[in-house]
Structure 1
Amino acid sequence: MPDAIFADPRLAAVYDVFDGDRGDLPAYLAIADEVGARRVVDVGCGTGSLAVVLARSGRTVIGVDPAAASLDVARAKDGAAAVEWRLGDAGGVPACGADLAVMTGNVAQVFLTDDDWLAALRGVRGAIRPGGHFVFETRRPGFRAWEEWAADTGTVIRDVQGVGPVERTFALTAVDLPLVSFRYAYRFRTDGAVLLSDSTLRFRERDEIETGLAAAGFQVLDVREAPDRPGREYVFITRRGAAPRW
């Protein structure tokens, strides 16, 4: 079940404004160029920011997400008509012979159990052609990002076009490694409504990720820094390889 920030229509409508600058998008566009990808699947595409950028570059793009409200926001963006939008989770990504599948943001960390993660990897593998690539990012546990989050509890206020002023506050609710949970509270000043969104992420160590990828039939080609967040994340560049061990 998607978190409320993605699934609730009122929250999905303000997501991009609070998400701010997407400095990660150029890096993924560059990777698509690097691997020669013409057909791309954006798994967990959310409000479609990357999918639209990829489509504008002349690629065939499929955006897949389990939150209908986020897809509604995506479909309303300039250039969205060039993207094929599909409602579904990572385990049900369509088999479309893609050259590249991507997971940006926190998508790879929302799979809290090993079984859920393996099911997601199976879905992604089925979506790409033999020899196609899978690229995703995940936060480094050693950076201990949750400590930085816990110190950043101030109220953020944004004036959202068509919505009005919205206040957002953050609270770290649990750290039970490898799981970290947190809550966003949004207050809409126009009517005083307060909406909550609870999330939990799993922080996997690099060797754990590599073991899972190998079991799912992916070959790790490179593990890079996120250019916009050096030292904080791994960016895995993988290729669909031999038959998986399942």
Structure 2
Amino acid sequence: MFTDADVAALYDQLNPWDPTRYPSDAFFNRLVMDAQAVLDVGCGTGQMLHRARDLGHRGRLVGLEPDLAALDRARRRTDIEWVAGVAADACWDREFDLATMASNVFQCLISDADLAASLAAVRRALRDGGRFAFDTRNPRAREWEQWEPSNASEVVDGNGRTLRVSHHVESVIGDVVTLTETTTAQDGTVLRVDRASLRFLDAPQVGALLRDAGFEIEAQYGGPNQQPVTDESRSFLTVARTRTAH
């Protein structure tokens, strides 16, 4: 058996959060440390908020996550608020200075209805002038073409097992890519197959969605070092502010 808890632990090994090593993590870390009250939407195992506390953040930190196994790992820290749920169901009212969706969580919002409902909920959760920061892969870079078994990763998990994690794209329909992630043991035994869909929206599409939801774009970068967005940008980061109604 390779349980949901095993998957959550393996995610932390394959995707460690470290702002001293990874520029994208540093980008979000700076925003979090500068905000008094932070809502991390799709917080996963809570690594970003854990690190913020370790670095001395003294304000309010809240993580929202639908994956209960990931949330269990996040809850190892009790000085942060953890809430089970999805963005569209969030019901906070002007309580936060910053909302984040790091690690391409924005791409998990597939339908137009879910995007609209999620952005509306994030907008309600932010105070006037509050910021919303997130990253998303650039569709023009076509990163999904690299998601194939030959590019698998190997890792030794916390139980000493050598595991192989590979990806296979099942379909590309419009701007939605559906893929499988297969985890196998060292002898080739398939331990688990997970399926997911991701939506790839370009920068103008993201901008239009934000404006419809009551945001205005403060900045949009083609990388964590604030370079411009180009067709070659692997991903882009957006920082938006709530727009005050007149």
The alignment's TM-score, normalised by the length of structure 2, stands at 0.85
Residue 217 of structure 1 aligns with which residue?
Answer: 214
Q: Does 1:81 align with 2:78?
A: yes
Residue 242 of structure 1 aligns with which residue?
Answer: 244
Residue 230 of structure 2 aligns with which residue?
Answer: none
Residue 16 of structure 1 aligns with which residue?
Answer: 12
Q: Does 1:28 align with 2:25?
A: no
Query: 1:233: Cα distance to partner?
Result: 1.3
Query: 1:62: Cα distance to partner?
Result: 0.2
Identity among equivalent positions (%) equals 28
Aligned mates of 1:130, 1:92 — CA distance in 2: 20
Alignment length, in residue pairs?
A: 233
**Cα RMSD over matched residues?**
2.5
Aligned pairs for 1:16-165 (under 5 A) are 16-20=12-16, 22=18, 23=22, 24-33=24-33, 36-56=34-54, 57-58=56-57, 59-76=59-76, 80-95=77-92, 97-150=95-148, 153-162=150-159, 164-165=161-162
Amino acid in the other structure paired with 1:156 = S
Query: 1:206: Cα distance to partner?
Result: 1.4
- Asked if the contact 2:104–2:134 (Cα under 8 Å) also holds between the matched residues in 1, the reply is no
- Asked if the contact 1:181–1:200 (Cα under 8 Å) also holds between the matched residues in 2, the reply is yes
3-state secondary structure, aligned to 2:103: coil
Q: Deviations over 1:111-162 (max 9, x none)?
A: 1111110111011111111111111111111111112224x62443211123
3-state secondary structure, aligned to 1:153: helix
Amino acid in the other structure paired with 1:242 = T
The alignment's TM-score, normalised by the length of structure 1, stands at 0.85
Aligned mates of 2:127, 2:67 — CA distance in 1: 26
- Asked if the contact 1:153–1:171 (Cα under 8 Å) also holds between the matched residues in 2, the reply is no
Amino acid in the other structure paired with 2:234 = R
3-state secondary structure, aligned to 2:30: helix
Query: 1:225: Cα distance to partner?
Result: 2.6
| Structure 1 portions without partners, runs of 5+ | none
Aligned mates of 2:152, 2:32 — CA distance in 1: 37
Q: 1:179 aligns with which of 172, 176, 191?
A: 176
Q: 2:205 aligns with which of 171, 187, 208?
A: 208
